[in-house]
Chain A
Amino acid sequence: MKHIFKIIAMLVAVSAIWIALLETATVPRSYTWLLPIYLVVALGCYGLFMVGFGLMFFPTCPQEAVLLQQDILEAKEFLSKKGVDVGSE
C-alpha cells in the first residue's frame, strides 16, 4: 500500500472519531470543537520537541577531524614516495 494511503486512512479514522464525538455529544460540544486545534498544537509540539532534542544532543566528532588530518599527512607521504602526484590540489 502506498504510504500516503496509510496517512490518509489515519486521518480519516481520527476524523470519524471526532465526528462521532460531536454527534453523540458524550463530551460537551464546545470542547469537542476545540479538539482538532489541540491535535495540531500537540503535533507541532512533538515536532519542535524532537527537533530541539535532536539539536541539543546532535552527535559531533571534532576529534575525527584531527585524526583525518593525520591520515591525510600519512597518505601524502606514502603516495609521493610511490610517485603519485599529491603535491597540489
Chain B
Amino acid sequence: MADDAGGGRREYSIIVPTYNERLNVALIVYLIFKHLPDVNFEIIIVDDGSPDGTQDIVKQLQQVYGENRVLLRARLRKLGLGTAYLHGLKHASGDFVVIMDADLSHHPKYLPSFIRKQKETGADVVTGTRYVQNGGVHGWNLMRKLTSRGANVLAQTLLQPGASDLTGSFRLYKRNVLEDLISSCVSKGYVFQMEMIVRATRKGYHIEEVPITFVDRVFGTSKLGGSEIVEYLKGLVYLLLTT
C-alpha cells in the first residue's frame, strides 16, 4: 500500500540533511524503511555537494527503494543546516515533516512513537527529548555532560522554553507549522534548533515530547563542534531579547 507508484502525495516527509555521510546515509535509509513498514512516507536527502560521494550512494539507494520514496535534493555547495531544512521543505509533499540527522544519533526506531504521539494528541510539534525517563545519551564524557546540564538549567530558568531538550533536533512538525517557524527563525547552525522550539512555544503551538536515546556518532566526523558554548550563550541572549 505504501509502495504506490507515481509521485503522489505522501503523508510524512522525512528530511535528512547530509554532508559527508556516505555510509551513514545508507544505514539510516535502511533503518527508516525497516521501522516504518506501513507508513506512506518519503525521505528527502539534502546533500550539500559532499566530496565523499554521498550522492552516489543515494542514487544506489534509489535503485533499491525507488526514486519516489528516496528523493535526492542536492545543492552545489555547503550552505549550512538551516537553509538545508528550508530547501528540503520546498520539495516535501507530506502533511507532516520529520527532521533528523543522518549520523545515526537519531535512531529511526523512534519514528513510530513520534507518529503515534502526534496522532494521539494532535500536536503541532513532537520533539524528541533525551533528558527524561527512557531517554538518554551514550558516548559523552563528564565535561560534555556538565556543559549540557549547565546549559539546560540556565535556559530552563531564564527562558522557560517549553521543552526539556532544547538543542536536540529530532522532531516532527505539521507542515504549515514548520513553514511558519522556519520563516520566523533567523539563527544559524547550533542555535537554530533552540530558536525553533522557543518560537513554537511563544506562538502558542501545541508541543509534545517523546523520549529518545542519543548515541554519539560512530562514523564520519563532526561538523559543528568548536566554540559551541560561546554560540550557545550568544543564542540564549538573542532569544531573551527577541522572544
Contact = CB atoms under 8 A, between A and B. Distances in A.
B121 interface: no
B176 interface: no
Interface stretch (A13-21, A26-34, A65-73): A65-73
The dominant DSSP class at the B interface is helix
Nearest to B211: A59
B5 interface: no
A83 B218 CA distance: 23
A24 interface: no
Among B30, B142, B158, B240, max chain A CB count under 10 A is at: B30
A63 B136 CA distance: 11
Contacts of B107: 64, 68, 71
The dominant DSSP class at the A interface is helix
B242 interface: yes
A59 B135 contact: yes
B159 A3 contact: yes
Contacts of A41: none
Interface string B227-241: 000000000000111
Contacts of B56: 85
A75 B137 contact: no
Interface residues of B, number: 46
A4 interface: yes
Nearest to A4: B240
Interface stretch (B8-16, B19-27, B80-88, B180-188): B19-27
A27 B98 CA distance: 58
Given A3-B239, A7-B158, A60 B22 contact: no
Contacts of B149: 50-51, 54-55, 58
Contacts of A64: 107, 136, 138, 213, 215
24 contacts: A50-B153, A54-B153, A55-B142, A59-B133, A60-B136, A60-B137, A61-B136, A61-B138, A64-B107, A65-B139, A68-B104, A68-B107, A68-B215, A68-B218, A79-B30, A79-B64, A82-B64, A83-B64, A84-B26, A84-B64, A85-B57, A86-B23, A86-B26, A89-B220
Task: Please list the 7 inter-chain residue pairs (A to B) with the smallest Cβ-Cβ separation, ordered nearest first.
Answer: A61-B136, A59-B136, A54-B149, A75-B30, A61-B213, A50-B153, A84-B60
